[in-house]
Amino acid sequence: MNSKRFNIGKVITYIFLVIITLISIFPFYWMFVIGSNDTSAINKFPPAFIPGSNFMENAANVFERIDFLQAVLNSFIVSTLVTFSVLFFCSLAGFSFAKMRFKGNKQLFIFVIATMMVPIQLGIIPSYMIISKFGWINDLKAVIVPWAVNAFGVFWMRQYIASAIPDELIDAGKIDGCSNFRIYWNVVVPSVRPAIATLGLITFMQVWNEFLWPLVVLKDTSVHTIQIALRNLNSNYYTDYAMILNGTFLATIPILIVFLLFSKQFIAGLTEGAVKA
C-alpha cells in the first residue's frame, strides 16, 4: 500500500518534470518549425507542427531585409573585445583584492559588491550625453568601453584567486624578484584558467544579448548589433512570421551551440556567482 502510493508520487513528479522540460524546449523547436515553413503555414488552423522545406528561402528573405552578416559581425566584435577586456581587468583587480595588501582593501571590495545592486541602466541619459560628447554615437566603442570591466567579474575573480592560489606562491615570486604584474601574468593567470574560461563565457553571452544600451547609442544600420537587427526585422506593419522566426532562429543558434558545448561551465558559473554572493 505504502510503496504503491510512493510510486504514484514518483510518476507525478516525473510528469511534472517532463512538462516543464517540454515548455522549456518547445519555443526553440517552434521557432524552427515556423522558420522553415512558408508564411501561409502559420496562417493555417491548426498551425504547422513539423518543420517545412522553406528554410533557405526564408533565410534569403532575412538576408534581404537586414544586413544579417554585418550585424552578427558587429555583435561578434563587441562581445569578443568586451570579453577580453573584462577578463584582463577583472582578474587583475581580483588578484589585487585577493592577494595584495593595501589600505582600504576590504572596504573597497565591499563597495564593489554593493555596486552590483545599483541599477546602472537608470543613469542612461547622462551616459548617453557622455558618449555623444566623446563623439561615439554610431561607434562600436560606445558599447565596448563602458562594459570593459564590471563588478561581477571583479568579485568572481577575487573569490576564485583567494581560494585557489596559496600566499606562499606569491611570496616565492616576490623573493625571486618578480614585479607584481609579472606575478599576476606568470603565476596567477595560468592557475585560474577555469575561472577565466567561465567568466569569459558568461560575459560573451551577456554582451551578445544586450539590447537597451546598443539601441540608444547605435542608430545607424552599419553598426547595429544582432539584437537591434532582429528587432528591426520584427517591424510592426508587416509581419512575415516565417521570415522573422527564421532570423530569430539564425541569431539564437550561435549562442545555443556555445551553451551546449560548455553547459557545465555556464551553469556552474552563473549559479556559483549567486551562491557566493
Q: Which stretch binds other proteins (CB under 8 A): 55-63, 66-74, 160-168, 211-219?
A: 211-219
- How far apart are the C-alpha atoms of 105 and 226, rounded to whole Å? 40
CB of 100 to other proteins, least distance (A): 4
List the one residue from 53, 190, 236, 238 that touches other proteins (CB under 8 A): 236
CB of 173 to other proteins, least distance (A): 12
List the one residue from 60, 129, 135, 222 that touches other proteins (CB under 8 A): 129
Decide whether 68 or 95 has the Cβ nearer to other proteins: 95
List the one residue from 54, 241, 243, 269 that touches other proteins (CB under 8 A): 241
**Total of chain residues touching other proteins, rule CB under 8 A:** 94
Yes or no: say if 172 and 186 are a contact pair by the CB < 8 Å rule. no
- How far apart are the C-alpha atoms of 199 and 159, rounded to whole Å? 12
- How far apart are the C-alpha atoms of 117 and 127, rounded to whole Å? 18
Other beta carbons less than 10 A from residue 156's beta carbon: 25
Residues with Cβ within 8 Å of residue 245, at least 6 apart in sequence: 30, 31, 34, 35
CA angle in degrees (0–180, nearest 5) for 177-179-185:
120
Decide whether 52 or 146 has the Cβ nearer to other proteins: 146
Estimate the crossing angle of helix 193-209 against helix 68-99, to 10 degrees. 140
CB of 79 to other proteins, least distance (A): 12
- How far apart are the C-alpha atoms of 84 and 88, rounded to whole Å? 6
Binding to other proteins, residues 49-88 (CB under 8 A) = none
List the one residue from 67, 76, 146, 185 that touches other proteins (CB under 8 A): 146
Does position 45 bind other proteins by CB under 8 A? yes
Does position 15 bind other proteins by CB under 8 A? no
List the one residue from 47, 135, 166, 194 that touches other proteins (CB under 8 A): 47
CB of 112 to other proteins, least distance (A): 7
Does position 246 bind other proteins by CB under 8 A? no
Yes or no: say if 250 and 68 are a contact pair by the CB < 8 Å rule. yes
List the one residue from 78, 161, 192, 230 that touches other proteins (CB under 8 A): 230
- How far apart are the C-alpha atoms of 206 and 141, rounded to whole Å? 17
